[in-house]
Structures are given as C-alpha cells and as structure tokens.
Amino acid sequence: MPVLQLDGIRKTFNPGQPNETEVLHGIDLTLHRGEFCALMGPSGSGKSTLLNLIGLLDRPSAGRLLIEGHDTGALDDAGLTRLRGRSIGFVFQYHHLIGAFSALENVMMPALLAGGRPDAAMRARAAELLGRVGLAAKRDQPVGSLSGGQQQRVAVARALAMRPALILADEPTGNLDTKSADDVFALMRDVNRADGTSFLVVTHDPRLGARCDRTVRVVDGKLVEDAA
Ligand SMILES: Nc1ncnc2c1ncn2[C@@H]1O[C@H](COP(=O)(O)OP(=O)(O)OP(=O)(O)O)[C@@H](O)[C@H]1O
C-alpha cells in the first residue's frame, strides 16, 4: 500500500469570490514506502499549498488524498488530526520550535500533544532521538541558543518522535550555509535508509534535488516527474 496517493487534487483559493484562483489543477502522485522525493517548481507555483494539503493542514477543493490507505476525504477534523499525528512528521524551514524550551522538551512535544505523559520513558525516547541527530550534549540547552543547523537537527528529531511513515520537509535547508545544509540533508537520508521513512522535500537547490530518488515539479498547476 502506498504511503501517499493523490488522484486529481485541485485547490482553489477564495472560491466564489472575484479573486478566486485555482492553484493546483489536478495533481496525481503516488509515493511508496522508503521513497525520498524532491518537490521542486518556481516560486509561487504551489509547492507549499500542496505540502499543506498532504500534511492535512488544509483540504483539497477536489480529488482524492490517501495517507497509508486512509481516504482523508471521509475524515472529520478530529480524524484528520489523529491521522496527521500518527502518520506525518514535519520539518519546516522556520522550524516551529519553541526557542525558550530545551532541545529535549521540543522533541517531547509531539508525544505530549498526543496526550502522552512526560515520564521517564518519554524523556528517554527524546534523548535517544537527540543522540541520533548528534545533539546528545545539547539536550538541556534552550533551542533558541543553538545554531541554525543544530535547530534543524532538533526539528528532524522532533519529526521522528511519533515514528511517522512520511516526513514532509519545506525547504529544510533553505536558511543554512552549504556545510550545514549538506549535514541536515545527509541526516534525513540516513533516517530514510535506516527506518524506511518516506520523505517529500521541497527544495530550490538542484544539488539536493539530484541526491533524491525522484524529483517531481509543480509546473502550471500540474505535477511532472523528471526522467529517472
Ligand atoms: N491562503 C491563500 N489565499 C490565496 N492565495 C494563496 C493562499 N496561499 C497561497 N496562495 C497563492 O497560491 C500560489 C502558490 O503559493 P505557494 O506558497 O503554494 O507557492 P510555492 O511554490 O510554495 O512558492 P515559494 O517557492 O515562493 O515558497 C501563489 O500565487 C499564492 O499567492
């Protein structure tokens, strides 16, 4: 069963208004377990819009969107929230980390939001994840005091907290220097290879795109796939 399946996804903003615009004109995409896929396309083409739909943060205007076989059109908001928490991890450029909280507390956040208790087991799991991204020594530091690359590593650890099948990353290396960008990308690739987690990564960087299994592009509201 694919991790992600999109059939004829459309998105119209401001429907019925004079400024109505259809940004996505029928997107088809199937992503299998363990695939690492780049999502590219010009500025304003609709990449973030598409990622928001796949991340169940917004609903398509038409089409079918399945996550791990679950037809999301049949779910109410509570059902979407549950599926999102269980199946999807997010790594965004402006990481949505809480700067005053420690690295450990930030990585515990998804489990806390899912109703877990902040017990020794949860702390141990968060500490293990921070070790995995090379930040064991920084676990008690406020995230706001870490470098951009270190913060993005915390974001990767946090995305892994609920063992998602799919990680969505929106320009995860966009604000990093070349060395930090390469390190964060390599980390995501390691996770992908070790755990079989699927990744869909928005990037403007053709260098990173070339290191993915596949590249798909939003062009004029449709998705086209680069030749393998
Ligand atoms: N909430 C909204 N209401 C109206 N229009 C929107 C909304 N969100 C996005 N758009 C429009 O949809 C189009 C696609 O935007 P989107 O942010 O998805 O592009 P993008 O490919 O991610 O761009 P970039 O690479 O610059 O981040 C743009 O024309 C944008 O103005």
Q: What is the pLDDT of residue 52?
A: 95
Residue reference for tokens 């304003």: 44
Q: What's the order of all strands across the beta sheet hosting 214-219?
A: 88-92, 166-170, 198-202, 36-40, 214-219, 222-225
Q: What is the pLDDT of residue 18?
A: 96
- What is the Cα–Cα distance from 19 to 227, expressed in whole angstroms? 36
If 0-12 CB within 10 Å is exposed, 13-18 middle and 19+ buried, where does residue 24 land?
A: buried
Whether residue 93 has its Cβ less than 6 Å from ligand 1? no
Whether residue 72 has its Cβ less than 6 Å from ligand 1? no
Whether residue 52 has its Cβ less than 6 Å from ligand 1? no
Instruction: Tell me the H-state helices in the chain.
Output: 47-54, 77-87, 103-113, 120-132, 148-159, 178-195, 206-209
Question: Which listed CATH number (3.40.50.10490, 2.60.40.10, 3.40.50.300, 3.60.21.10) goes with 4-96+164-225?
Answer: 3.40.50.300
- What is the Cα–Cα distance from 86 to 216, expressed in whole angstroms? 25
Q: What is the pLDDT of residue 40?
A: 96
Report the predicted TM-score, pTM, of the whole model to 2 decimal places.
0.92
Q: What is the pLDDT of residue 95?
A: 57
Q: What is the pLDDT of residue 15?
A: 93
What's the pLDDT tens digit per position in 47-106? 999 999 999 999 999 999 999 999 999 999 999 999 999 999 999 866 589 999 999 999
Q: Whose CA is nearest to atom 27 of ligand 1?
A: 43
Q: DSSP label at 209? A: H
Q: What is the pLDDT of residue 176?
A: 83
Q: Are 120 and 71 in contact (CB under 8 A)?
A: no
Q: pLDDT under 50 in the chain at which residues?
A: none
